[in-house]
Every structure is written in C-alpha cells, then in structure tokens.
Chains A and B, each alone.
Chain A
C-alpha cells in the first residue's frame, strides 16, 4: 500500500536548499524506519505492545507455576494426614 508518488516532494539537484545545505546521511535505523512511507514505525509500535504483553503474560505464568506447586504440596500434606 504505497502512497501515490506524485504527492511526494521531489527534490531536484537544482534546488538551492539541496545544494547549499548537504544533510547528514540518515542513520541505518532511520533509513529502515523511513522506508515505505514509514510503515515500519507502526510495525515497531505494534511489536512493542505485543512483546510488552507477552512479557507480562510470562510473568503471570510464573506466578501460576508457583501456585500449582503449592497446591500439590497442600494435597500431599492432606493425603499424608489421612494415612497417618
């Protein structure tokens, strides 16, 4: 899904701004993020949300693991008292 090319400001070499102030070349990360009409910025944002929620889910998972262990321990103790 590209935007129509004609609405992009086209910079020509005859442009005085272009010739007088040479801009520093964009950093590699900027080159990536600015390509394809900056769609990768949106991808980055969505991935941050996804990984953030994933990390949180894993943390909840660890807490549930601990609960399971404790329940097992609890059950073991109960059966022990029954057998005694």
Chain B
C-alpha cells in the first residue's frame, strides 16, 4: 500500500469515528414526536435498523468477492469474502439482540416474551444460520484453494436467499416491522426529522463496518503470509 493510500485510509477512519460520535449524540438529543407505546424507543430507529442495513451491505461485499474468487481465483478475494461475512454476521447478531430488547419493553410488554417469532425476526435468524453454515463449510476444508472455490460458490447461493428472507417473505405476513402495509421503508408515523439522523446513522455504521472489515483483512493477510513462512508443525 502506498503512502498516499495509507494517509487517506487514516483520514477516513478519523471521519468515521467523529461521524459515529455525532450520530450517537444526535440520536439521543434530537426532538422526536411522541408516539404512544414507543415513546423514546422510537430512537432505536437510529441504532437497531442500521445494523441490518450494514449486515446487508457486508453480505453484498462478501458475495462480490466470492464472485471474484470464482472469476480470478485469487486468494485475496477469499480473505475479503470471509472477513466481510464475519463482520456482517456480527452486525446481524447485534441487530437481532437489539430487536429483542426493543420488542420486549414495547410490543411484548407484560407478556414476558423476548422472542415471539415475528416473521422478520425469524427470517433474519434463518439468514444468520445460513451464513453460520458458510463458516462451518469453510472450516471443514483444509486445502485453501479448494476451500476458496467451494465457499465462494456456497456464498453466492447464500446471498440469493437474503432478499427473499429479509425483504419479500416478512412483508407477506403480519409483522411488527414496517413493510406489510405496503410502505417498505418508513411508517406514516415516522417524523421527517428522524430521517436527518437515520441516514447519517446508516452511513456511519456502514463506515464502521468498512473500518473493522479492512482491519480484519489486513490481519488475515498477515496470518496467511506467516503461514507461508513458518513451518506448519510450529503453529
């Protein structure tokens, strides 16, 4: 990596750090209209929803690099595909847990339920299991070139299920999530000023994903370089 690229890489990471800080502050301080039942939890729009957007972006990045593995056969794309899938899964898990907390103290209040098989929630869990299988598949193949190809092929199948599980099926069923009524993105009750924080939150969390993802790619590349240098018995 040249010095110039490095400098921009550093600058962009500082911008992300400040950006996320601003989003966190604005997310708590922005005036939002009173909505019965939701009250201040409507602010979770700025924190829970970007988790899923970030996961989707991460899985698309992962799929892109898997496709590149199949066309170019370069192992760097395998590293990128794997790390994007890992970081994406982390964001997906965070989205799942934050959604559980949100629902527990609003819609499921008094029922003592943490999990009620809301269609979107269930499909998101299925989606994460599909990606879990991707990691299991990877760990089951010791030879790196074979692993790269097979995992890439599986990953392309996995990403195809994503729009159906997250965007098509949940909207066909009664759900706590918006979309079933025909409006895919925002409820009618969503105040316009909330978008002023929501969109920057999306950019911020996707930026944070990119930061962690590139960091892990660098880490994994070092590991691969060491694997070539060091004899296997010492590892």
Contacts and interface: CB of A to CB of B under 8 A. Distances in A.
Nearest to B90: A56
B22 to A, nearest CB: 14
A34 to B, nearest CB: 7
B134 interface: no
Contact of A48 (B27, B34, B39, B97): B97
Interface of B, helix, strand, loop or mixed by DSSP: helix
Given A41-B40, A42-B40, A48-B97, A60 B219 contact: yes
A42 B41 contact: yes
Given A34-B105, A38-B106, A49 B94 contact: yes
A7 B106 contact: no
A56 B83 CA distance: 12
A33 B34 CA distance: 17
Contact of B40 (A9, A26, A37, A67): A37
A49 B219 contact: no
B97 to A, nearest CB: 5
Nearest to B100: A48
B154 interface: no
Interface stretch (B2-10, B118-126, B185-193, B226-234): B226-234
Taking residues whose C-beta sits less than 8 angstroms from the other chain, chain B's interface range is 35 or more
Interface stretch (B42-50, B138-146, B161-169, B174-182): B42-50
Given A73-B230, A74-B230, A42 B43 contact: yes
Interface of A, helix, strand, loop or mixed by DSSP: helix
Contacts of A26: 110
A29 to B, nearest CB: 8
Given A1-B29, A49-B98, A64-B219, A42 B51 contact: no
Interface in B87-111: 87, 90, 93-94, 97-98, 101-102, 105-106, 109-110
B28 A67 contact: no
Interface of B: 24, 27-29, 31, 34, 36, 38-41, 43-44, 47-48, 51, 87, 90, 93-94, 97-98, 101-102, 105-106, 109-110, 112, 208, 212, 215-216, 219, 222-223, 226, 229-230, 234-235
